[in-house]
């Protein structure tokens, strides 16, 4: 998040009943499959359909940013067969879906440590980002081999490289100094975070950016998540009083 986008810990951002930026942890694919006596990989395949539904929903509703946690830096610990399937799904989705995204005026961006991925996948990512870079209807960000702690650490490392003398001299570092180096520096902080699958944690996802995000948890498994479920999450969000450190009286006074 760049200083141009604003920081919820430094100033009160604009807010409305509809979120501008929605971030989602797409959880429950494996358990969805297991409950149906299917291999876990079947849940991931079915989960791609839910991605399509939510992308279409955000485009239709005029939501500006959608960020999806596709593969965390900890997911490498999963069984190798499942990891391999996820990588193949990523490649296949890029090959099949990018033209549709482009026709829909949707920009695709990928954040995370791409150095661990196969060169073919990295090439497809860069090509997809280049093809869609001028699209304006929705920015769809896929977090892949991403971790919130990694994000902060790599931002600190980049800042140290860019200002070595100041770093060595022990100059005080401000939030605004670090913010431009975070992996989503170009986007506003998420307004609404959704996690499917019944878990109530953020699992190392956007831990800097979620400081004042409204957190919504649902038991619905990701493959079953629908437009109606998005409606429910956004209706819940619309009822939230976003104070950003202020009192309710101050919030009401500023909106009157």
Q: Where are the alpha helices (DSSP H) in 15-147?
A: 29-35, 40-61, 80-103, 119-132
Which residues participate in catalysis according to the annotation? Answer: 27, 75
Order of strands, edge to edge, in the sheet holding 65-72? 106-111, 138-146, 65-72, 21-25, 192-195, 214-217
Distance CA 221, CA 113 (A): 27
Query: What is the sign, positive or negative, of the torsion defined by CA atoms of 163, 164, 169, 175?
Result: positive
Rounded distance, CA 208 to CA 216, Å? 17
- In contact, 126 and 52? CB cutoff 8 Å: no
Residue position matching structure tokens 């280049």: 130
């Amino acid at each position: 998040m760049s200083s141009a986008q604003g920081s919820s810990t430094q100033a009160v951002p604009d807010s409305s009943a509809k979120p501008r930026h929605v971030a989602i942890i797409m959880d429950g694919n494996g358990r969805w499959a297991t409950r149906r006596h299917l291999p876990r990989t079947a849940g991931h395949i079915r989960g791609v359909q839910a991605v399509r539904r939510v992308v279409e929903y955000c485009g239709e509703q005029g939501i500006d940013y959608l960020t999806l946690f596709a593969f965390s830096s900890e997911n490498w610990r999963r069984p190798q067969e499942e990891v391999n399937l996820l990588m193949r799904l990523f490649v296949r989705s890029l090959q099949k879906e990018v033209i549709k995204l482009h026709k829909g005026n949707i920009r695709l961006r990928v954040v995370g440590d791409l150095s661990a991925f196969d060169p073919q996948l990295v090439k497809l990512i860069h090509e997809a980002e280049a093809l869609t870079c001028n699209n304006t209807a929705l920015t769809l960000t896929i977090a892949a081999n991403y971790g919130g702690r990694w994000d902060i650490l790599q931002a600190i490392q980049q800042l140290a490289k860019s200002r070595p003398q100041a770093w060595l001299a022990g100059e005080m570092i401000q939030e605004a100094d670090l913010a431009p180096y975070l992996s989503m520096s170009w986007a506003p902080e998420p307004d609404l975070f959704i996690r499917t699958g019944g878990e109530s944690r953020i699992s190392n996802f956007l831990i800097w950016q979620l400081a004042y995000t409204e957190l919504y948890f649902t038991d619905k498994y990701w493959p079953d998540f629908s437009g109606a479920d998005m409606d429910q999450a956004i209706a819940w969000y619309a009822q939230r009083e976003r104070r950003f450190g202020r009192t309710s009286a101050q919030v009401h006074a500023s909106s009157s």
